[in-house]
Chains A and B, each alone.
Chain A
């Protein structure tokens, strides 16, 4: 919403003339002024001059030398405009040194074809008054004395324009009358506008049209006026510039007057060309399914029954409250007018506007709710304006539907006001504030008062609304800060803390935390071999973000690929977030997951970096689960589509699967354009969270020394080290406290397809020292077992 400083002060001359005061006052009351712009900034340095004579430029075709009189003397100006008026005509001169911010120009002496111009004759565009740049601005003789500053030649040539961000609850602030009323309330200035008080025309002809309100739930109030003999045509300069300043394009007198009314009252009105209306009646009805209407924007729309239209005897002529039809529109030649001042149901207007992707100045106001009590005043103002600007005559008027709006009444309790404020509020002051805002006090005493809600405040309907008004106008600074005694709540569950432990464990395990899009494309999910999406958007911004993820992996891989394209190949990132899967009720399940991706190499100190291996991923998973939960996670062979079939495992704690890890499948790596050695750890956070708490009791320290024995075995590579270790542990019995693989060797001295594995077995008894003989005997059993079970002997 744009508002004119001058217009506000025309309505209420007592308003302060300082735009900054207006801006602060409105902003502090919740009507945020986002900016104040100068309109016609050059007007105060340009002057009106009279054309004395002109002749062609001696050397440049198309240019003329214009001699102008500036009130004191003559100057010679080089001018290229096609519309320099005959001598006696008035034009606008920007003298040397003038700044023209609209075209980013400062007038400097400059020789054009050997002749130096003493300034520039300006167009409206150059003056920042409109987009009109075809020719220079020309006034009729007598408009102003030569030498008059443009800003003093008329009130429309400069102004301050407020850019307001009006919240949807305040439709009253979408017109100058409403803003003036608000300012008066805030600044304690009496507000009584004569134009607001006009009633129905007391005279004005006997012609009538019949109005039928067939959809009374959508429109129960329709007033009209009939005007005849209008001379439509371009609007006078002042009106054109006022609309221009407020961002509205000037069309013709009649149309401009309807736009002016909208900006003044915040109440949209519409003018039809009466000659284009078939029959002698108007019906406000629901559209017929499939009914077609071409709007003023020349777009043809097919309507549905939920749309409300204005129709003549033949067809729809306007979409009610949104846009007029092209076929019934006012043109330059229009002389007969039907002026519509009606009230349409906000929800209906909004649904129609959204359905047909139409958002107009009219629908913007109707969908927020307009002041239904002002139809007489708006109509009277429009009639006056049309009569005086176009010479039309009022030949008839009428209305259909309810005349009086029944106002709401609300009780305000002083005690409730102070309770919600949290501080004393003088009762008299509170009532005065409401009175200034237009809330009439009907009755009351020292504890309560009954107020009537004014019709321009459809947002107010209950006590809290009145309390908000009092608090808002008094200002928040009047409320002290007081820390409440909060009764501490319990966590609904400890998940946030748990997520944080996990994140911090991952950070401790050298990973960077990432924050990924949950919105992605079905193709990305498929490329990462993730389950198909269960949450699909009806109205995505674009196909790349059209479903919610079922896996965290594609998001991270996208990040790794992007960094790789930007030259960073090493990535160690993780994210903790929700995935969206089929749920049991109406909504999807949103379990929490953890995913980490390692790409690049493991750096070594001053020597060649080593490629990352699947054991790096396993180590990472172990470290994170250990740091977060103090639990030991182990690997189990597994097969998952996203992972390399040779390098993939599940992560288990006890017998509970808590995740998986592996090297990315080459197909997936290639699809995302990441390196093939990319590694992944996925953790099911919900499964981890559900694990029974770790036994926190400590284990006593050993009291007796340990004995170590080594065993090195050459085995086929198909024999898993873990299997051997388990066999060794079993054979070594309860005295073996630990079995550790400490060397793995494949090389020249080992047969093809075999590996040499060396284990160290730690023997210890809890209650005594073991003798060497005892340990040797146990270890002998170990050697015998591995020989028998795996057909291998201890390596020399």
Chain B
């Protein structure tokens, strides 16, 4: 039909009339956008029916051309309009069909951008505790893990050849030093040759010669804290620890202090928090006592100040130290401490 020759062609009006009569049906018959566009191309395309008809127009006498032109433009507009309407209808139909289709299978596995990572429970607890003390005005201080005996024991007031060192059985290096048995060495590192005030916390790894079992590791983590200023008292120690306990374990958490002994503090105390699981009523976690021991503390022994060149009559202070493993085990109900160093991904992925 695109190859129609003028000599054999019908008259223009007749040709246009034929197109005008057939296109609505052809559009209606087009069931998809693609088919519709195909039909439209057959009418208006380079080789389309209407285009072919227009070619006839060139052979018309000039007088007829204007009328013919209006006829053609009218038809063209009608075709475009019908096309738009039909296209709209097809799209609406397709959308309606798409909307009415079966629901997606939402039981298929989700498609996360990437699996998320998790902090280690010790890292979580350490960060949280450091933040609490930072907000109270303490800053973080660091110290070495391989330490001089002098800084780990002697300057902290451990008497030579005294059973107090049995409380902390040490690993010795072939170089004659030791792996620090507590983060208390940071007290010496921070104070030696410097002048107060001091307000530091020192998280870190420590080592004791304990065989690995469900409740012991030869390597674990502590957090030390100490405050030195004029007129620091035991009441202040109690105040800071009470505030800490409430921030870590929630408002209303109370603490209890019992006298104890650490060579570098005097008076020394162990601190229990009211059991967060039973609120003090007694449960298996607190062994029925209603309290859980979480840290040791005391006023800094004057001998420690003297060893650091600080006058204990002018300055006083307190220190405390806590085991992070213990706090993490209690919080997460971990029954075997070895899980903390095995780092099984299925374990690690359970923490926030």
Contact = CB atoms under 8 A, between A and B. Distances in A.
Nearest to B131: A500
A410 B191 CA distance: 28
Contacts of A480: 235, 238
B261 A507 contact: no
B316 interface: yes
A500 B134 CA distance: 14
Contacts of A495: 142
A467 B267 contact: yes
Contacts of B283: none
Interface in A571-604: 571-573, 577-578, 580, 586-588, 590, 603
B105 to A, nearest CB: 11
Interface string B223-266: 00001010111111011111100000000000011111101001
B171 A537 contact: yes
A536 B174 contact: yes
A566 B346 CA distance: 10
B345 A563 contact: yes
A320 to B, nearest CB: 15
Contacts of B139: 488-492
Contacts of B258: 27-28, 30, 32, 476
Contact of B200 (A32, A472, A476, A489): A489
A347 B163 CA distance: 9
B157 to A, nearest CB: 11
Interface in A529-559: 535-541, 545, 548, 556, 559
A513 B348 contact: yes
Q: Chain B at the A interface: mostly helix, strand, loop or mixed?
A: mixed
A519 interface: yes
A489 B122 contact: no
B291 to A, nearest CB: 12
Given A562-B344, A605-B111, A367 B163 contact: yes
A472 B259 contact: yes
A513 B173 contact: no
Nearest to B236: A484
B8 to A, nearest CB: 47
Contacts of A468: 259, 266-268
B148 A586 contact: yes
Interface string B196-229: 0111100101010101100000110100000101
Contacts of A500: 127
A563 B229 contact: no
A509 interface: yes
Contacts of A368: 163
B138 interface: yes
Given A468-B266, A472-B267, A487 B238 contact: no
Given A476-B238, A517-B219, A586-B148, A483 B231 contact: no
B343 A481 contact: no
B109 interface: yes
Contacts of B136: 486
Contacts of A556: 343
Interface stretch (A236-244, A272-280, A415-423): A415-423
Interface in A451-500: 462, 464-465, 467-468, 471-472, 476-477, 479-484, 486-493, 495-497, 500
Contact of B117 (A487, A511, A540, A590): A511
Contacts of A471: 234, 259, 267
Interface string A173-205: 000000000000000000000000000000000
Contacts of A548: 145-146, 179
B302 interface: yes
Given A422-B236, A481-B238, A512-B345, A587 B301 contact: no
Contacts of B261: 30, 167-170
B269 interface: yes
A540 B343 contact: no
A423 B346 CA distance: 51
Interface in B72-129: 108-109, 111, 114-120, 122-123, 127
B147 interface: yes
B341 A587 contact: no
Given A347-B161, A476-B257, A482-B238, A541 B218 contact: yes
A703 to B, nearest CB: 32
Given A519-B207, A587-B144, A422 B234 contact: yes
A462 B304 CA distance: 14
Nearest to A418: B233
A514 B120 contact: yes
A479 B177 contact: no
A351 B161 contact: yes
B344 A563 contact: yes
Q: Which of B109, B114, B127, B197 has the most chain A CB within a 10 Å cutoff?
A: B114
A600 B268 CA distance: 51
B344 A484 contact: no
A654 interface: no
Interface residues of B, number: 92
A587 B147 contact: yes
Q: Which of B118, B173, B209, B231 has the most chain A CB within a 10 Å cutoff?
A: B173
B146 A513 contact: no
A509 B144 CA distance: 30
Contact of A168 (B167, B266, B348): B167
A644 interface: no
A131 interface: no
B130 interface: yes
Interface string A336-367: 00000000001100110000000000001001
Contacts of A516: 341, 343
A407 interface: no
Contacts of A586: 148, 175, 177
Contacts of B345: 512, 563, 568, 570-573
B138 A515 contact: no
Contact of B341 (A27, A503, A515): A515
Contact of B140 (A487, A492, A563): A492
Contacts of A570: 345
Contact of A484 (B127, B239, B299): B239
Contact of A514 (B109, B243, B257, B343): B343
Contacts of B221: 515
A369 to B, nearest CB: 9
B335 interface: no
B239 A588 contact: no
Interface in B146-189: 146-148, 160-164, 166-167, 171-175, 177, 179
Q: Which of A32, A513, A519 has the most chain B CB within a 10 Å cutoff?
A: A513
Contacts of A541: 209, 211-212, 218
B37 interface: no
A507 B117 contact: yes
Contacts of B238: 422, 476, 479-482
A536 B341 contact: no
A297 to B, nearest CB: 21
B218 A545 contact: yes
A606 B110 CA distance: 10
A510 interface: yes
A518 B205 contact: yes
B267 to A, nearest CB: 4
A491 B142 CA distance: 10
A29 interface: yes
A673 to B, nearest CB: 15
B31 interface: no
Given A351-B161, A464-B266, A492-B142, A539 B343 contact: no
The 8 closest A-B pairs by CB, nearest first: A422-B233, A422-B235, A30-B259, A486-B137, A167-B261, A347-B161, A476-B257, A514-B343
5 contacts: A468-B266, A484-B239, A519-B219, A539-B209, A573-B348
Interface of A: 27-30, 32, 167-170, 346-347, 350-351, 364, 367-368, 419-423, 462, 464-465, 467-468, 471-472, 476-477, 479-484, 486-493, 495-497, 500, 503-504, 506-519, 535-541, 545, 548, 556, 559, 562-563, 566, 568, 570-573, 577-578, 580, 586-588, 590, 603, 605-606
